Amino acid sequence: MNRRLLGVFAHPDDESFGPAGTLAVHALDGVDVHIATMTDGAAGTPAAGFPDGDGLARVRREELRAAAAQLGATLHHFSYRDSGFIGDERNHLPDAFINVDEAEPIADLVALIREIRPDVVISHDENGGYRHPDHIRCHTVTRAAFEAAGDPERFRDLGPAFAPSRLYSETTSNRLIKVAAGVMRLVGRDPTRIGVNKDVDLTRVGVDPHRITTRVDVRKGWSRKRAAGARHASQRGDIGPLRRVPVGLLKLLFPRESFIRELPAPWPGLRETSLFE
Ligand SMILES: [Zn+2]
């Protein structure tokens, strides 16, 4: 019986800059891997030479397609409008992903889950990694769809009910991030305003390590993860800091990707090394 994994992400590039190692490793192991991307990425900040707005969305659609191919995953792209990060004027557009009626993306995901019947679903954590509103909404709708897909009384016109076994949130330990934030303060830089748009607060990125339930060995997926990230040139994935680090060193420095098991709820002290074990 073939195992299936579905990753649900907010933007084109979250699959590659997020748990791409996990997606790649499972595809290499013969798991049927699917990626669902909820928005068009139009609010991303384009690298020099790339268009913005709808032009950027078109570029990113192709980048996402190429990245999914690198990871060995089947792509499902829903193209809701990217809401932008906190404070972006596009937060207020009525058709932004964070403003559409939640029932709409939930129905999309229920239909997808019932169609592909994944054993395991992963999405962003409740903090959205770094509080991106689209990531937080993606977490919420994925969890709602996960629960609804298995209920035959709900969304009765969207195919026979199917309940996946497990839901995970991809996450990062804040242990080293806190150290980095402290170092930035020591050298006179502000860790609460970083990134291309100075809109990321490093002190609020990641979760306390004790919340992490599951660590997946991704070493054999690193080449594919890096290749997938490089496909997102409009988001500087081809010139990012990791591009110059040899894959062998990346495997040593970052051998695992971290997850929080959401459902079934974990017991205190649960520590897993597989999403399927
Ligand atoms: Zn994102």
- pLDDT tens digits, one per residue of 111-121: 999 999 999 99
State the distance from the centre of ligand 1 to the C-alpha of 172, rounded, in angstroms: 14
State the distance from the centre of ligand 1 to the C-alpha of 13, rounded, in angstroms: 7
State the distance from the centre of ligand 1 to the C-alpha of 185, rounded, in angstroms: 26
> For the ranges 66-80, 116-130, 186-200, which has the lowest average pLDDT?
186-200
Q: Are strands 214-217 and 256-263 parallel, antiparallel or unpaired?
A: antiparallel
Instruction: Summarize pLDDT for 153-163 with one digit per residue, the tens.
Output: 999 999 999 99
State the distance from the centre of ligand 1 to the C-alpha of 219, rounded, in angstroms: 23
Q: How high is the mean pLDDT of the chain?
A: 95
Q: Which of 167, 168, 155 is nearest to 111 (CA)?
A: 155
What sign for the dihedral angle of Cα 51, 57, 58, 63? positive
Q: CA–CA separation, 228 vs 197, rounded Å?
A: 23
Instruction: Summarize pLDDT for 180-201 with one digit per residue, the tens.
Output: 999 999 999 999 998 877 888 8
State the distance from the centre of ligand 1 to the C-alpha of 156, rounded, in angstroms: 31
pLDDT for res 197 = 78
State the distance from the centre of ligand 1 to the C-alpha of 41, rounded, in angstroms: 8
Please report the DSSP string for 41-100 in residue order. -TTS-PPTT---HHHHHHHHHHHHHHHHHHHT-EEEEEEEBP--STT-GGGG-TTBTTTS
State the distance from the centre of ligand 1 to the C-alpha of 160, rounded, in angstroms: 31
State the distance from the centre of ligand 1 to the C-alpha of 146, rounded, in angstroms: 20
Distances (CA, A) of 37 to 9, 32, 92, 129, 182: 5, 17, 21, 16, 34
State the distance from the centre of ligand 1 to the C-alpha of 56, rounded, in angstroms: 15
Residue 273 has phi, psi (to 5 degrees) of: -120, 5
State the distance from the centre of ligand 1 to the C-alpha of 202, rounded, in angstroms: 16
